[in-house]
Structure 1
């Protein structure tokens, strides 16, 4: 069975392919000849995930899924949330985003936060299902670690004394929001086939 992931990111594709049941081939948007950026204009993470998936399904009628992720910081009333990638502006620069977040956290003692990933899956018959993965943690006072991406250098998951950026990819994936959401998707796909 072929399954399409609403992404152009080849690293994400490789990472997820390893998790899928045998006989399931994961393909990205490039394999459909879809080169444009899919709009992400919903006001929730769930909505953006759904928007990406429906965009692909409505054009190609194939089994597909899309994901969206946001960082929700309690002291900032859930910011940056759905705007995580473009928190500091449309250039989507991780360094600028982290700098702005750390500035806004100055003076806050409550540093609790969570990463949230939502995956929307649509099968070839048009049935839709969502999966949510959450990683609770805290925002550190300064950056630590060189691995990962996005806010990983300033996010320390609950129960650990290191940031996501200080962990190996395998360790991070075993406890991360994205890893949890994808595990639910994979379990669901295994039950269906």
Structure 2
């Protein structure tokens, strides 16, 4: 089995989290850039899982089976906004990946809202080979904070408050976040499924 895994992303924060969480497995984890792949797969699915599947499939086909491919799609879903931003999380304010504007828009829309419940969702798809595809999803529940707090993490982390810790993701250390986050939960499920696959191989 090929021990190289290409993460279908160039988000350095996401790559770092995935490398950290998967470090105990005997796998070489690299980004698209490190694999010399320059492609922007259009995320036009209506669910996180659809987008993750499409990204993984496109990159796997490009590599022609030369490596395993892991793709994820993640974002925040807010109850009071009927699940928005959802799959549009990265481009909520119009400009892809502008964390500052995305957070500002979310806080503005949440002004005066009593129900501030929200969840982070992470769908992951791993193409091991053309016949073996693993799909998992992780979620973590919290609330939308009244204001930005903390400088750790990325994306919506400074506005995602975890009551049991009394802090936002932006205030939590990466050690704690990488234990409880939606991505950590998805990767934990992925690890279990991957180990099961290795036992059957």
TM range (shorter): over 0.9
- Give the deviation of 1:91 after TM superposition: 4.0
The equivalent residue for 1:48 is: 51
1:192 positional shift = 2.1
Instruction: Answer whether contact 1:112 1:137 (CA < 8 A) is retained.
Output: yes
| Cα contact 2:70–2:125 (8 A) shared by 1 | yes
1:108-147 equivalences under 5 Å are 108-147=113-152
Q: State whether residues 134 and 193 of structure 2, in contact with CA within 8 Å, keep that contact through their aligned partners in structure 1.
A: no
What is residue 87 of structure 1 aligned with on the other side?
92
Check conservation: 1:137, 1:155, Cα contact below 8 A: yes
**What is the TM-score when the length of structure 2 is the normalising length?**
0.89
* Matching of residue 64 in structure 1 with residue 66 in structure 2: no
| Conservation of the 8 A alpha-carbon contact between 1:19 and 1:186 | no
1:76 is matched with 81
* Bigger mean CA offset, 94-103 vs 33-42: 33-42
Paired with 2:19 and 2:150, the residues of 1 have a C-alpha distance of 26
Deviation of the 1:36 alpha carbon: 2.1
Of 168-177 and 40-49, more deviation after overlay is shown by: 40-49
Q: Find the residue that maps to 2:167 and give its secondary structure.
A: coil
Post-superposition, which runs of at least 4 consecutive aligned residues in structure 1 deviate over 6 A? none
Gaps of 5+ in 2: none
